Chain A
Protein backbone atom coordinates (compact mmCIF):
# COMPACT_ATOMS: atom_id res chain seq x y z
CA UNK A 1 0.00 0.00 0.00
CA UNK A 2 1.57 3.31 -1.07
CA UNK A 3 1.39 6.56 0.88
CA UNK A 4 -1.64 7.94 -1.02
CA UNK A 5 -3.56 4.75 -0.45
CA UNK A 6 -2.65 4.71 3.24
CA UNK A 7 -3.91 8.26 3.50
CA UNK A 8 -7.16 7.29 1.78
CA UNK A 9 -7.50 4.34 4.16
CA UNK A 10 -7.02 6.69 7.11
CA UNK A 11 -9.64 9.12 5.85
CA UNK A 12 -12.11 6.32 5.13
CA UNK A 13 -11.80 4.49 8.42
CA UNK A 14 -10.66 7.27 10.74
CA UNK A 15 -12.58 10.30 9.54
CA UNK A 16 -15.50 9.21 7.39
CA UNK A 17 -16.50 5.90 8.97
CA UNK A 18 -16.39 4.11 5.63
CA UNK A 19 -14.95 0.73 4.70
CA UNK A 20 -13.30 -0.11 1.39
CA UNK A 21 -10.98 -2.88 0.33
CA UNK A 22 -7.35 -2.10 -0.55
CA UNK A 23 -7.93 -2.24 -4.30
CA UNK A 24 -10.75 0.27 -4.16
CA UNK A 25 -8.78 2.51 -1.81
CA UNK A 26 -5.91 2.56 -4.32
CA UNK A 27 -8.33 3.52 -7.12
CA UNK A 28 -9.86 6.28 -5.02
CA UNK A 29 -6.47 7.60 -3.98
CA UNK A 30 -5.37 7.84 -7.60
CA UNK A 31 -8.61 9.53 -8.66
CA UNK A 32 -8.50 12.05 -5.83
CA UNK A 33 -4.85 12.87 -6.50
CA UNK A 34 -5.63 13.66 -10.16
CA UNK A 35 -8.55 15.90 -9.19
CA UNK A 36 -6.74 17.61 -6.31
CA UNK A 37 -3.67 18.27 -8.41
CA UNK A 38 -5.74 19.78 -11.21
CA UNK A 39 -7.57 22.15 -8.87
CA UNK A 40 -4.44 23.04 -6.92
CA UNK A 41 -2.49 23.84 -10.09
CA UNK A 42 -5.36 25.84 -11.58
CA UNK A 43 -5.80 27.67 -8.29
CA UNK A 44 -2.11 28.47 -7.92
CA UNK A 45 -2.21 30.31 -11.25
CA UNK A 46 -5.42 32.18 -10.60
CA UNK A 47 -6.71 32.45 -7.04
CA UNK A 48 -6.04 35.32 -4.68
CA UNK A 49 -7.09 36.02 -1.10
CA UNK A 50 -10.12 38.04 -2.26
CA UNK A 51 -11.63 35.43 -4.58
CA UNK A 52 -15.11 34.68 -3.28
CA UNK A 53 -17.06 31.66 -4.59
CA UNK A 54 -20.24 33.70 -4.73
CA UNK A 55 -18.84 36.15 -7.28
CA UNK A 56 -19.64 33.55 -9.95
CA UNK A 57 -23.35 34.39 -10.00
CA UNK A 58 -22.78 38.15 -9.98
CA UNK A 59 -20.27 37.75 -12.79
CA UNK A 60 -22.88 35.98 -14.91
CA UNK A 61 -25.33 38.82 -14.22
CA UNK A 62 -22.72 41.38 -15.22
CA UNK A 63 -21.26 39.65 -18.28
CA UNK A 64 -24.40 39.65 -20.36
CA UNK A 65 -24.48 40.73 -23.99
CA UNK A 66 -22.36 43.83 -24.64
Chain B
Protein backbone atom coordinates (compact mmCIF):
# COMPACT_ATOMS: atom_id res chain seq x y z
CA UNK B 1 0.00 0.00 0.00
CA UNK B 2 1.12 3.51 -0.80
CA UNK B 3 1.32 4.95 2.68
CA UNK B 4 0.51 4.36 6.31
CA UNK B 5 -3.22 5.13 6.11
CA UNK B 6 -5.00 1.99 4.90
CA UNK B 7 -8.00 4.10 3.87
CA UNK B 8 -5.90 5.60 1.08
CA UNK B 9 -5.24 2.22 -0.50
CA UNK B 10 -7.37 1.14 -3.45
CA UNK B 11 -10.08 -1.50 -3.03
CA UNK B 12 -7.99 -4.15 -4.78
CA UNK B 13 -4.91 -3.31 -2.73
CA UNK B 14 -6.71 -3.50 0.59
CA UNK B 15 -8.60 -6.65 -0.40
CA UNK B 16 -5.36 -8.36 -1.39
CA UNK B 17 -3.69 -7.12 1.81
CA UNK B 18 -6.54 -8.55 3.89
CA UNK B 19 -6.25 -11.86 2.02
CA UNK B 20 -2.51 -11.95 2.67
CA UNK B 21 -3.19 -11.02 6.31
CA UNK B 22 -0.97 -7.95 6.10
CA UNK B 23 -3.92 -5.99 7.47
CA UNK B 24 -7.14 -7.04 9.15
CA UNK B 25 -10.63 -6.19 7.96
CA UNK B 26 -11.12 -4.54 11.35
CA UNK B 27 -8.13 -2.25 10.74
CA UNK B 28 -9.40 -1.35 7.26
CA UNK B 29 -12.85 -0.65 8.69
CA UNK B 30 -11.42 1.50 11.48
CA UNK B 31 -9.40 3.45 8.89
CA UNK B 32 -12.57 4.13 6.91
CA UNK B 33 -14.43 5.17 10.07
CA UNK B 34 -11.65 7.65 10.86
CA UNK B 35 -11.93 9.11 7.35
CA UNK B 36 -15.71 9.33 7.71
CA UNK B 37 -15.37 11.19 11.00
CA UNK B 38 -13.13 13.69 9.29
CA UNK B 39 -14.98 14.03 5.96
CA UNK B 40 -18.66 13.57 6.78
CA UNK B 41 -19.06 17.13 8.13
CA UNK B 42 -17.58 18.50 4.90
CA UNK B 43 -19.47 16.31 2.43
CA UNK B 44 -22.68 14.98 4.05
CA UNK B 45 -22.08 11.82 2.05
CA UNK B 46 -23.57 9.40 4.61
CA UNK B 47 -27.23 9.25 5.58
CA UNK B 48 -26.68 6.40 8.04
CA UNK B 49 -23.55 4.90 9.53
CA UNK B 50 -23.54 1.76 11.67
CA UNK B 51 -20.11 1.54 13.25
CA UNK B 52 -20.88 -1.29 15.65
CA UNK B 53 -22.41 -3.50 12.99
CA UNK B 54 -19.55 -2.81 10.59
CA UNK B 55 -16.89 -3.62 13.16
CA UNK B 56 -18.67 -6.80 14.21
CA UNK B 57 -18.90 -7.88 10.59
CA UNK B 58 -15.21 -7.04 10.00
CA UNK B 59 -14.28 -9.08 13.05
CA UNK B 60 -16.28 -12.02 11.72
CA UNK B 61 -14.59 -11.73 8.32
CA UNK B 62 -11.18 -11.74 10.01
CA UNK B 63 -12.16 -14.82 11.99
CA UNK B 64 -13.23 -16.62 8.82
CA UNK B 65 -9.93 -15.78 7.19
CA UNK B 66 -8.02 -17.00 10.22
CA UNK B 67 -9.94 -20.26 9.92
CA UNK B 68 -8.83 -20.63 6.32
CA UNK B 69 -11.99 -19.49 4.60
CA UNK B 70 -11.75 -16.65 2.08
CA UNK B 71 -15.05 -15.86 0.40
CA UNK B 72 -13.51 -14.17 -2.63
CA UNK B 73 -11.75 -11.04 -3.87
CA UNK B 74 -13.86 -8.64 -1.79
CA UNK B 75 -13.53 -10.49 1.53
CA UNK B 76 -13.45 -8.03 4.44
CA UNK B 77 -13.59 -4.85 2.31
CA UNK B 78 -15.59 -1.94 3.78
CA UNK B 79 -18.12 -0.26 1.50
CA UNK B 80 -21.33 1.75 1.68
CA UNK B 81 -24.14 2.17 -0.82
CA UNK B 82 -26.66 4.63 -2.16
CA UNK B 83 -29.64 4.62 0.20
CA UNK B 84 -31.91 2.85 -2.26
CA UNK B 85 -30.68 -0.72 -1.94
CA UNK B 86 -33.11 -2.53 0.29
CA UNK B 87 -32.00 -4.55 3.29
CA UNK B 88 -34.83 -6.50 4.89
CA UNK B 89 -36.11 -4.89 8.08
CA UNK B 90 -33.85 -1.84 7.80
CA UNK B 91 -34.50 1.78 6.89
CA UNK B 92 -34.23 2.71 3.24
CA UNK B 93 -35.10 6.34 2.56
CA UNK B 94 -34.42 6.65 -1.15
CA UNK B 95 -33.22 10.14 -0.25
CA UNK B 96 -36.82 11.13 0.38
CA UNK B 97 -38.91 12.49 3.21
CA UNK B 98 -41.75 10.16 2.26
CA UNK B 99 -39.70 7.06 3.09
CA UNK B 100 -37.74 8.56 5.96
CA UNK B 101 -38.99 5.88 8.36
CA UNK B 102 -39.76 3.09 5.87
CA UNK B 103 -38.23 -0.35 6.36
CA UNK B 104 -37.53 -2.60 3.42
CA UNK B 105 -39.37 -5.94 3.10
CA UNK B 106 -36.59 -7.63 1.12
CA UNK B 107 -32.84 -7.47 0.62
CA UNK B 108 -31.60 -6.33 -2.78
CA UNK B 109 -29.97 -9.03 -4.88
CA UNK B 110 -26.80 -6.98 -5.22
CA UNK B 111 -26.51 -6.65 -1.44
CA UNK B 112 -27.04 -10.39 -1.07
CA UNK B 113 -24.19 -10.92 -3.50
CA UNK B 114 -21.91 -8.54 -1.65
CA UNK B 115 -22.85 -10.18 1.66
CA UNK B 116 -21.90 -13.55 0.21
CA UNK B 117 -18.63 -12.05 -1.04
CA UNK B 118 -17.69 -10.96 2.49
CA UNK B 119 -18.10 -7.20 2.09
CA UNK B 120 -18.35 -5.08 5.25
CA UNK B 121 -21.25 -2.61 5.04
CA UNK B 122 -20.56 0.70 6.77
CA UNK B 123 -23.91 2.29 6.08
CA UNK B 124 -25.98 4.02 3.41
CA UNK B 125 -25.23 7.10 1.38
CA UNK B 126 -26.85 10.36 0.41
CA UNK B 127 -28.61 10.58 -2.93
CA UNK B 128 -31.02 12.76 -4.86
CA UNK B 129 -34.62 12.35 -3.73
CA UNK B 130 -35.98 9.17 -5.33
CA UNK B 131 -32.87 9.14 -7.58
CA UNK B 132 -34.28 12.10 -9.49
CA UNK B 133 -31.72 14.84 -9.93
CA UNK B 134 -28.34 15.17 -11.64
CA UNK B 135 -26.61 17.53 -9.19
CA UNK B 136 -26.59 16.08 -5.65
CA UNK B 137 -29.03 18.55 -4.11
CA UNK B 138 -31.32 17.12 -1.45
CA UNK B 139 -33.70 19.39 0.48
CA UNK B 140 -34.73 16.63 2.91
CA UNK B 141 -31.38 15.24 4.05
CA UNK B 142 -29.06 18.12 3.15
CA UNK B 143 -27.08 18.62 -0.05
CA UNK B 144 -24.12 16.37 -0.67
CA UNK B 145 -20.90 18.36 -1.19
CA UNK B 146 -17.99 17.71 -3.50
CA UNK B 147 -14.83 16.67 -1.59
CA UNK B 148 -12.69 18.67 -4.03
CA UNK B 149 -14.56 21.89 -3.26
CA UNK B 150 -17.44 21.88 -0.82
CA UNK B 151 -19.12 24.77 -2.67
CA UNK B 152 -19.49 22.61 -5.78
CA UNK B 153 -21.97 19.88 -6.61
CA UNK B 154 -21.12 16.20 -6.49
CA UNK B 155 -23.26 15.27 -9.45
CA UNK B 156 -26.21 12.99 -8.88
CA UNK B 157 -28.21 11.13 -8.24
CA UNK B 158 -25.58 8.84 -6.60
CA UNK B 159 -24.09 11.86 -4.84
CA UNK B 160 -22.92 10.17 -1.65
CA UNK B 161 -21.42 7.30 -3.62
CA UNK B 162 -19.23 9.66 -5.62
CA UNK B 163 -18.26 11.82 -2.64
CA UNK B 164 -17.52 8.94 -0.25
CA UNK B 165 -15.31 7.09 -2.73
CA UNK B 166 -13.46 10.26 -3.73
CA UNK B 167 -12.81 11.26 -0.10
CA UNK B 168 -11.53 7.75 0.66
CA UNK B 169 -14.27 7.12 3.22
CA UNK B 170 -15.07 3.82 1.52
CA UNK B 171 -13.26 1.62 -0.98
CA UNK B 172 -16.25 1.29 -3.27
CA UNK B 173 -19.95 2.03 -3.42
CA UNK B 174 -23.00 1.05 -5.40
CA UNK B 175 -24.87 3.73 -7.31
CA UNK B 176 -27.64 3.61 -9.86
CA UNK B 177 -27.96 5.28 -13.25
CA UNK B 178 -31.19 6.20 -15.06
CA UNK B 179 -29.85 9.19 -16.99
CA UNK B 180 -26.24 9.42 -15.83
CA UNK B 181 -26.55 9.00 -12.07
CA UNK B 182 -23.43 6.84 -11.73
CA UNK B 183 -21.31 8.57 -14.38
CA UNK B 184 -22.13 12.14 -13.35
CA UNK B 185 -20.98 11.83 -9.72
CA UNK B 186 -18.04 9.70 -10.85
CA UNK B 187 -16.99 12.47 -13.22
CA UNK B 188 -17.64 15.35 -10.83
CA UNK B 189 -15.86 13.66 -7.92
CA UNK B 190 -12.92 12.21 -9.88
CA UNK B 191 -13.67 8.50 -9.51
CA UNK B 192 -14.57 5.61 -11.80
CA UNK B 193 -18.22 4.70 -12.47
CA UNK B 194 -19.68 1.94 -14.63
CA UNK B 195 -23.16 1.83 -16.12
CA UNK B 196 -23.04 -1.65 -17.54
CA UNK B 197 -25.30 -2.99 -20.28
CA UNK B 198 -29.02 -3.03 -19.44
CA UNK B 199 -29.65 -6.49 -18.01
CA UNK B 200 -26.08 -7.08 -16.81
CA UNK B 201 -26.84 -6.32 -13.12
CA UNK B 202 -30.02 -7.16 -11.24
CA UNK B 203 -32.32 -4.32 -10.19
CA UNK B 204 -34.29 -6.53 -7.77
CA UNK B 205 -34.63 -4.85 -4.39
CA UNK B 206 -33.35 -1.51 -5.67
CA UNK B 207 -35.67 1.48 -5.49
CA UNK B 208 -36.81 2.22 -9.03
CA UNK B 209 -36.63 5.54 -10.81
CA UNK B 210 -37.65 4.14 -14.22
CA UNK B 211 -37.72 0.37 -14.66
CA UNK B 212 -36.83 0.52 -18.34
CA UNK B 213 -33.84 2.83 -17.92
CA UNK B 214 -32.42 1.99 -14.47
CA UNK B 215 -28.95 0.46 -14.26
CA UNK B 216 -27.21 -0.67 -11.06
CA UNK B 217 -23.44 -0.25 -10.93
CA UNK B 218 -20.25 0.44 -8.96
CA UNK B 219 -18.22 3.55 -8.19
CA UNK B 220 -14.59 3.03 -7.22
CA UNK B 221 -11.22 4.76 -7.19
CA UNK B 222 -9.65 2.75 -10.00
CA UNK B 223 -10.75 0.81 -13.06
CA UNK B 224 -9.32 -2.38 -11.56
CA UNK B 225 -11.44 -1.93 -8.45
CA UNK B 226 -14.50 -1.32 -10.60
CA UNK B 227 -13.90 -4.47 -12.64
CA UNK B 228 -13.61 -6.48 -9.46
CA UNK B 229 -16.80 -5.06 -7.99
CA UNK B 230 -18.87 -5.44 -11.16
CA UNK B 231 -17.75 -9.05 -11.38
CA UNK B 232 -19.22 -9.62 -7.93
CA UNK B 233 -22.64 -8.10 -8.63
CA UNK B 234 -23.28 -8.95 -12.29
CA UNK B 235 -25.25 -11.89 -13.63
CA UNK B 236 -28.68 -13.36 -14.15
CA UNK B 237 -31.19 -13.06 -11.35
CA UNK B 238 -34.52 -14.92 -11.33
CA UNK B 239 -35.91 -11.98 -9.33
CA UNK B 240 -35.28 -9.60 -12.25
CA UNK B 241 -36.61 -10.90 -15.55
CA UNK B 242 -34.69 -8.26 -17.49
CA UNK B 243 -31.31 -9.68 -16.48
CA UNK B 244 -29.27 -11.49 -19.10
CA UNK B 245 -28.25 -15.12 -18.88
CA UNK B 246 -24.93 -14.38 -20.57
CA UNK B 247 -22.00 -15.61 -18.49
CA UNK B 248 -20.15 -12.91 -16.54
CA UNK B 249 -16.54 -12.60 -17.72
CA UNK B 250 -13.67 -12.33 -15.25
CA UNK B 251 -13.31 -8.62 -15.89
CA UNK B 252 -10.22 -8.23 -13.74
CA UNK B 253 -8.40 -11.04 -15.53
CA UNK B 254 -9.10 -9.30 -18.84
CA UNK B 255 -7.69 -5.91 -17.81
CA UNK B 256 -4.19 -6.39 -19.13
CA UNK B 257 -3.19 -6.48 -22.75
CA UNK B 258 -3.08 -2.78 -23.44
CA UNK B 259 -4.83 -0.87 -26.18
CA UNK B 260 -2.49 -1.44 -29.11
CA UNK B 261 -4.60 -1.72 -32.25
CA UNK B 262 -7.89 -1.02 -30.49
CA UNK B 263 -9.98 1.38 -32.55
CA UNK B 264 -11.41 4.22 -30.50
CA UNK B 265 -13.75 6.85 -31.90
CA UNK B 266 -13.44 10.33 -30.42
CA UNK B 267 -16.69 12.26 -30.16
CA UNK B 268 -16.69 15.89 -29.04
CA UNK B 269 -20.31 16.82 -29.79
CA UNK B 270 -21.03 20.51 -30.13
CA UNK B 271 -24.73 20.38 -30.74
CA UNK B 272 -27.72 18.36 -29.55
CA UNK B 273 -28.83 18.24 -25.92
CA UNK B 274 -25.44 19.35 -24.53
CA UNK B 275 -23.00 21.78 -26.08
CA UNK B 276 -19.42 21.22 -25.02
CA UNK B 277 -17.22 23.57 -23.00
CA UNK B 278 -13.75 24.07 -24.52
CA UNK B 279 -11.91 23.19 -21.31
CA UNK B 280 -13.71 19.86 -21.02
CA UNK B 281 -13.24 19.15 -24.72
CA UNK B 282 -9.50 19.78 -24.42
CA UNK B 283 -9.20 17.34 -21.50
CA UNK B 284 -11.00 14.58 -23.38
CA UNK B 285 -8.95 15.29 -26.51
CA UNK B 286 -5.78 14.96 -24.37
CA UNK B 287 -7.06 11.65 -23.00
CA UNK B 288 -7.63 10.39 -26.54
CA UNK B 289 -4.12 11.54 -27.44
CA UNK B 290 -2.74 9.61 -24.46
CA UNK B 291 -4.58 6.48 -25.57
CA UNK B 292 -3.17 7.05 -29.06
CA UNK B 293 0.34 7.13 -27.64
CA UNK B 294 -0.38 3.78 -26.02
CA UNK B 295 -1.17 2.33 -29.42
CA UNK B 296 -4.90 2.82 -29.82
CA UNK B 297 -6.11 3.96 -33.22
CA UNK B 298 -8.04 7.18 -32.58
CA UNK B 299 -10.46 8.40 -35.21
CA UNK B 300 -13.11 11.11 -35.00
CA UNK B 301 -16.69 9.85 -35.02
CA UNK B 302 -19.96 11.71 -35.39
CA UNK B 303 -22.63 10.57 -32.99
CA UNK B 304 -26.19 10.41 -34.28
CA UNK B 305 -28.47 13.26 -33.27
CA UNK B 306 -29.39 12.45 -29.70
CA UNK B 307 -32.32 14.85 -29.49
CA UNK B 308 -35.05 12.34 -30.36
CA UNK B 309 -33.38 9.68 -28.27
CA UNK B 310 -33.16 12.07 -25.31
CA UNK B 311 -36.83 12.99 -25.63
CA UNK B 312 -37.80 9.32 -25.83
CA UNK B 313 -35.93 8.71 -22.57
CA UNK B 314 -37.81 11.58 -20.96
CA UNK B 315 -41.13 10.13 -22.07
CA UNK B 316 -40.26 6.72 -20.65
CA UNK B 317 -38.92 8.07 -17.35
CA UNK B 318 -41.77 10.50 -16.76
CA UNK B 319 -44.51 7.95 -17.51
CA UNK B 320 -42.97 5.23 -15.36
CA UNK B 321 -42.21 7.63 -12.49
CA UNK B 322 -45.72 9.13 -12.58
CA UNK B 323 -47.23 5.66 -12.44
CA UNK B 324 -45.19 4.48 -9.47
CA UNK B 325 -45.47 7.77 -7.55
CA UNK B 326 -49.17 8.40 -8.17
CA UNK B 327 -50.41 7.48 -4.67
CA UNK B 328 -47.94 9.84 -3.00
CA UNK B 329 -48.38 12.56 -5.61
CA UNK B 330 -52.11 12.52 -4.91
CA UNK B 331 -51.95 12.29 -1.13
CA UNK B 332 -48.79 14.14 -0.11
CA UNK B 333 -47.53 16.22 -3.04
CA UNK B 334 -45.85 18.70 -0.71
CA UNK B 335 -43.63 15.94 0.66
CA UNK B 336 -41.59 16.13 -2.55
CA UNK B 337 -39.10 18.80 -3.51
CA UNK B 338 -40.76 20.95 -6.16
CA UNK B 339 -38.28 20.04 -8.87
CA UNK B 340 -38.70 16.31 -8.19
CA UNK B 341 -42.49 16.48 -8.28
CA UNK B 342 -42.72 18.72 -11.32
CA UNK B 343 -40.39 16.54 -13.36
CA UNK B 344 -42.80 13.62 -13.00
CA UNK B 345 -46.13 15.34 -13.57
CA UNK B 346 -45.99 15.36 -17.37
CA UNK B 347 -46.19 11.58 -17.16
CA UNK B 348 -49.91 11.87 -16.35
CA UNK B 349 -50.57 13.64 -19.66
CA UNK B 350 -48.45 11.69 -22.14
CA UNK B 351 -50.63 9.25 -24.13
CA UNK B 352 -49.85 5.56 -23.65
CA UNK B 353 -49.24 5.28 -27.40
CA UNK B 354 -46.37 7.73 -27.13
CA UNK B 355 -44.87 5.83 -24.20
CA UNK B 356 -45.09 2.55 -26.11
CA UNK B 357 -43.62 4.13 -29.21
CA UNK B 358 -40.72 5.49 -27.16
CA UNK B 359 -40.05 1.91 -26.03
CA UNK B 360 -40.43 0.59 -29.59
CA UNK B 361 -37.95 3.20 -30.84
CA UNK B 362 -35.16 1.92 -28.62
CA UNK B 363 -34.26 -0.94 -30.91
CA UNK B 364 -34.03 1.44 -33.85
CA UNK B 365 -31.88 3.85 -31.87
CA UNK B 366 -29.50 1.02 -30.93
CA UNK B 367 -29.13 -0.09 -34.54
CA UNK B 368 -28.55 3.49 -35.69
CA UNK B 369 -25.98 4.15 -32.97
CA UNK B 370 -24.05 0.97 -33.70
CA UNK B 371 -24.12 1.68 -37.44
CA UNK B 372 -23.27 5.38 -37.25
CA UNK B 373 -20.85 5.58 -34.35
CA UNK B 374 -19.45 2.09 -33.81
CA UNK B 375 -19.33 0.44 -37.19
CA UNK B 376 -15.61 1.01 -37.60
CA UNK B 377 -14.50 1.37 -33.98
CA UNK B 378 -14.41 -0.81 -30.88
CA UNK B 379 -15.30 1.94 -28.41
CA UNK B 380 -16.18 5.62 -28.35
CA UNK B 381 -14.70 8.21 -25.99
CA UNK B 382 -16.61 11.38 -25.14
CA UNK B 383 -17.05 13.69 -22.15
CA UNK B 384 -19.33 12.76 -19.26
CA UNK B 385 -20.34 16.25 -18.10
CA UNK B 386 -20.03 18.83 -20.87
CA UNK B 387 -19.01 21.79 -18.69
CA UNK B 388 -16.88 22.51 -15.58
CA UNK B 389 -18.49 21.49 -12.30
CA UNK B 390 -20.81 24.29 -11.12
CA UNK B 391 -21.48 25.37 -7.57
CA UNK B 392 -24.37 24.15 -5.44
CA UNK B 393 -25.79 27.67 -5.46
CA UNK B 394 -25.62 28.04 -9.25
CA UNK B 395 -27.64 24.88 -9.75
CA UNK B 396 -30.11 25.16 -6.87
CA UNK B 397 -33.35 24.76 -8.79
CA UNK B 398 -35.38 24.59 -5.60
CA UNK B 399 -34.10 27.84 -4.13
CA UNK B 400 -33.27 29.73 -7.26
CA UNK B 401 -35.19 28.31 -10.21
CA UNK B 402 -35.31 30.30 -13.42
CA UNK B 403 -34.62 29.28 -17.00
CA UNK B 404 -30.82 29.62 -16.81
CA UNK B 405 -30.59 27.34 -13.79
CA UNK B 406 -33.01 24.82 -15.26
CA UNK B 407 -31.08 24.84 -18.53
CA UNK B 408 -27.77 24.15 -16.79
CA UNK B 409 -29.27 21.32 -14.76
CA UNK B 410 -30.85 19.89 -17.90
CA UNK B 411 -27.52 19.96 -19.75
CA UNK B 412 -25.91 17.77 -17.08
CA UNK B 413 -27.38 14.63 -18.60
CA UNK B 414 -27.07 15.61 -22.27
CA UNK B 415 -24.18 13.22 -22.91
CA UNK B 416 -25.12 10.48 -20.46
CA UNK B 417 -28.88 9.91 -20.76
CA UNK B 418 -28.70 8.73 -24.40
CA UNK B 419 -26.76 5.64 -23.29
CA UNK B 420 -29.51 4.69 -20.86
CA UNK B 421 -31.96 4.69 -23.76
CA UNK B 422 -29.48 2.64 -25.79
CA UNK B 423 -28.67 0.28 -22.92
CA UNK B 424 -25.03 0.00 -24.01
CA UNK B 425 -22.20 0.04 -21.45
CA UNK B 426 -20.58 3.35 -20.50
CA UNK B 427 -17.64 3.81 -18.13
CA UNK B 428 -16.68 7.18 -16.63
CA UNK B 429 -12.97 7.64 -15.95
CA UNK B 430 -11.22 10.73 -14.50
CA UNK B 431 -9.20 12.54 -17.18
CA UNK B 432 -8.26 15.91 -15.76
CA UNK B 433 -9.13 18.87 -13.58
CA UNK B 434 -10.79 22.11 -14.61
CA UNK B 435 -9.51 25.60 -13.87
CA UNK B 436 -11.48 25.57 -10.59
CA UNK B 437 -9.65 22.43 -9.46
CA UNK B 438 -12.68 20.18 -9.91
CA UNK B 439 -12.39 16.85 -11.76
CA UNK B 440 -13.24 16.19 -15.41
CA UNK B 441 -14.40 12.76 -16.55
CA UNK B 442 -14.57 11.02 -19.88
CA UNK B 443 -16.97 8.27 -20.90
CA UNK B 444 -15.90 5.13 -22.70
CA UNK B 445 -18.87 3.61 -24.52
CA UNK B 446 -18.93 0.15 -26.06
CA UNK B 447 -21.05 -2.44 -27.77
CA UNK B 448 -23.62 -4.32 -25.67
CA UNK B 449 -21.99 -6.55 -23.03
CA UNK B 450 -18.48 -5.36 -23.93
CA UNK B 451 -17.70 -4.02 -20.47
CA UNK B 452 -14.41 -5.94 -20.46
CA UNK B 453 -13.05 -3.88 -23.35
CA UNK B 454 -14.01 -0.60 -21.68
CA UNK B 455 -12.24 -1.71 -18.51
CA UNK B 456 -9.17 -2.70 -20.53
CA UNK B 457 -9.01 0.74 -22.17
CA UNK B 458 -9.63 2.54 -18.89
CA UNK B 459 -7.04 0.45 -17.10
CA UNK B 460 -4.41 1.16 -19.77
CA UNK B 461 -5.23 4.86 -19.50
CA UNK B 462 -4.87 4.83 -15.71
CA UNK B 463 -1.56 3.04 -16.09
CA UNK B 464 -0.27 6.01 -18.06
CA UNK B 465 -1.87 8.86 -16.09
CA UNK B 466 -2.10 10.03 -12.49
CA UNK B 467 -5.49 11.76 -12.24
CA UNK B 468 -7.06 8.88 -10.32
CA UNK B 469 -4.27 8.95 -7.74
CA UNK B 470 -4.96 12.49 -6.57
CA UNK B 471 -6.76 12.67 -3.24
CA UNK B 472 -8.86 15.64 -2.11
CA UNK B 473 -7.21 17.51 0.76
Contact = CB atoms under 8 A, between A and B. Distances in A.
Contact of B450 (A17, A39, A40, A64): A64
Contacts of B318: 35
A47 B360 contact: yes
Given A36-B350, A39-B358, A64 B447 contact: yes
9 contacts: A28-B349, A29-B349, A35-B350, A38-B307, A39-B312, A39-B361, A47-B364, A59-B367, A60-B197
Contacts of A42: 308-309, 311-312, 361
Contacts of B366: 56, 59-60, 63
A17 B330 CA distance: 9
B201 to A, nearest CB: 13
Contacts of B199: 57, 60-61
The SS class assigned to the B binding surface is helix
B75 to A, nearest CB: 31
A34 B367 CA distance: 24
A52 B348 CA distance: 23
Interface centre among B307, B309, B311, B450 (most CB of A within 10 A): B311
B190 to A, nearest CB: 29
Contacts of A60: 197-199, 244, 366, 423-424, 448-449
A8 B351 CA distance: 11
Given A39-B311, A41-B308, A32 B350 contact: yes
A64 B357 contact: no
Nearest to B450: A65
Interface in A16-48: 16-18, 20, 24, 28-29, 31-32, 34-36, 38-43, 46-47
Contacts of B360: 43, 47, 51-53
A60 B420 CA distance: 12
Interface of B: 197-199, 242, 244, 246, 307-309, 311-312, 314-315, 318, 330, 345-346, 348-351, 354, 356-364, 366-367, 370, 378, 423-424, 446-450, 453
A30 to B, nearest CB: 10
Contact of A59 (B309, B314, B315, B363): B363
A36 B244 contact: no
Nearest to B367: A59
The 9 closest A-B pairs by CB, nearest first: A38-B311, A53-B359, A42-B308, A60-B448, A56-B362, A46-B364, A43-B357, A51-B360, A32-B349
B453 A65 contact: yes
Contacts of B378: 65
Interface of A: 8, 11-12, 16-18, 20, 24, 28-29, 31-32, 34-36, 38-43, 46-47, 51-53, 55-57, 59-61, 63-66
Nearest to A16: B348
Nearest to A27: B342
A36 B311 CA distance: 9
B308 A36 contact: no
A16 B347 CA distance: 11
A36 B448 contact: no
Contacts of A39: 308, 311-312, 315, 354, 357-358, 361
A18 B359 CA distance: 26
B244 A35 contact: no
A38 B314 CA distance: 10
A61 B370 contact: no
Contacts of B358: 39
Contacts of B423: 56, 60
B312 A38 contact: yes
A38 B358 CA distance: 10
A47 B361 CA distance: 7
A19 B35 CA distance: 48
A33 B217 CA distance: 34
User: Which residue, A12, A41, A42, has most C-beta atoms of chain B within 10 A?
Assistant: A42
Contacts of A20: 345
Contacts of B348: 11-12, 16, 18
A47 B357 CA distance: 8
Contacts of B448: 59-61, 63-64
Nearest to A46: B364
A46 B311 CA distance: 15
B447 A46 contact: no
A11 to B, nearest CB: 5
Contacts of B346: 28, 31-32, 35
A35 B449 CA distance: 30
A65 to B, nearest CB: 5
Contacts of A28: 345-346, 349
Nearest to A30: B346
A56 B314 CA distance: 17
A61 B308 contact: no
Nearest to B241: A57
